[in-house]
Amino acid sequence: MYDILKGKTLVAIGDSLFEGNKLGNAATWVNKMERYGMTVYNYGKNGNTMAKQEKETKVPPMCERYAQMQDGADYVVVLGGANDKRLSVPLGENDSTDPTTFKGALRQMILGLTAKYPKAKILFMTNYNRWPSKNELGISDIDYVLAMEEICRIYSIPCFNNYYNAGISFHNPAQSCWIDEGLVLGINENRHFSNEAYDWLLPKYAALLAAL
């Protein structure tokens, strides 16, 4: 299945849903792409933002980190937005080049990634519907989702809307009991994915990559 992926190199960058939070990146769907014969480099970092910000500076933002990723990727996947919302990064304008805004950081990443990997198949992925509260700027998760879609459309970059189309939801009790990492581990819900949830998501995302 998906012979087109076999022998190819996947480079991914994102937040805790790529690092795997408490489970580690071996549990994530990104690393499990090795089952399809891919070589995987996972640059997920817990708490990471797309944009530059001053509240949490221990780890550089994705708009800077991408430059140090493995060369020679056939496929590149980017997931972000959740921590930009959490840390109240402003959205910015569609023509922004300011990496302290979400749209400016997205533009910087798209232009940088296509320069670094000019022939790679690139997929951006939005954040999920996890925390309904607004940040201190009055912005919700969905606003960062729509902002990512807008900037990706400008450059004809495929963008998968996890908020609407993930197929599993932390807000559905019938699903959260087995997809929420915290509940499965016997602690408070934390709206990160369990190992079983990553297994469930794997074929969905493998099909997306194979179709790029």
What's the CA gap between 127 and 100, in Å, rounded? 18
**Domain harbouring 143, CATH code:** 3.40.50.1110
Give the helix, strand, coil percentages of the chain, each rounded to 5.
45, 10, 45
pLDDT of residue 121: 98
Tell me the pLDDT tens digit for each residue of 19-77: 999 999 999 999 999 999 999 999 999 999 999 999 999 999 999 999 999 999 999 99
Cα angle 42, 24, 89; round to 5: 65
Non-local (6+) Cβ contacts of 137 within 8 A are 88, 90
Cβ-contact 44, 56 below 8 angstroms: no
pLDDT of residue 109: 98
Cβ-contact 38, 206 below 8 angstroms: no
Which helix (H) or strand (E) covers residue 144, if one does? helix 141-154
Q: What number is the average pLDDT over the span 155-178?
A: 98
Q: How many structural domains compose the chain?
A: 1
pLDDT of residue 78: 99
Q: What number is the average pLDDT over the span 5-17?
A: 98
Say what the pTM is: 0.97
pLDDT at 5 over 90: yes
154-171 burial, b for 16+ CB within 10 Å, e for fewer? eeebebbbbbeebebebe
Place of tokens 């970092």: 45
Token pair belonging to 194:
């369990």
With cut-offs at 50, 70 and 90, classify the pLDDT of residue 10. Answer: very high
Domain that holds residue 16: 3-211
What's the CA gap between 155 and 143, in Å, rounded? 19
In sequence order, which ranges of 44-167 are alpha helices (DSSP H)?
62-65, 82-86, 102-116, 141-154, 162-165
State the average pLDDT for the chain: 97
What's the CA gap between 153 and 169, in Å, rounded? 26
Tell me the pLDDT tens digit for each residue of 77-111: 999 999 999 999 999 999 999 999 999 999 999 99
pLDDT of residue 77: 99
pLDDT of residue 176: 97
CA atoms in the 13 A half-sphere facing the CB of 159:
24
Region of 52 please: left (phi>0), alpha (psi -120 to 50) or beta: beta
With cut-offs at 50, 70 and 90, classify the pLDDT of residue 116. Answer: very high
pLDDT at 1 over 90: no
Q: Which residues pair with 14 in a beta bridge?
A: 44
CA atoms in the 13 A half-sphere facing the CB of 92:
25
pLDDT at 162 over 90: yes
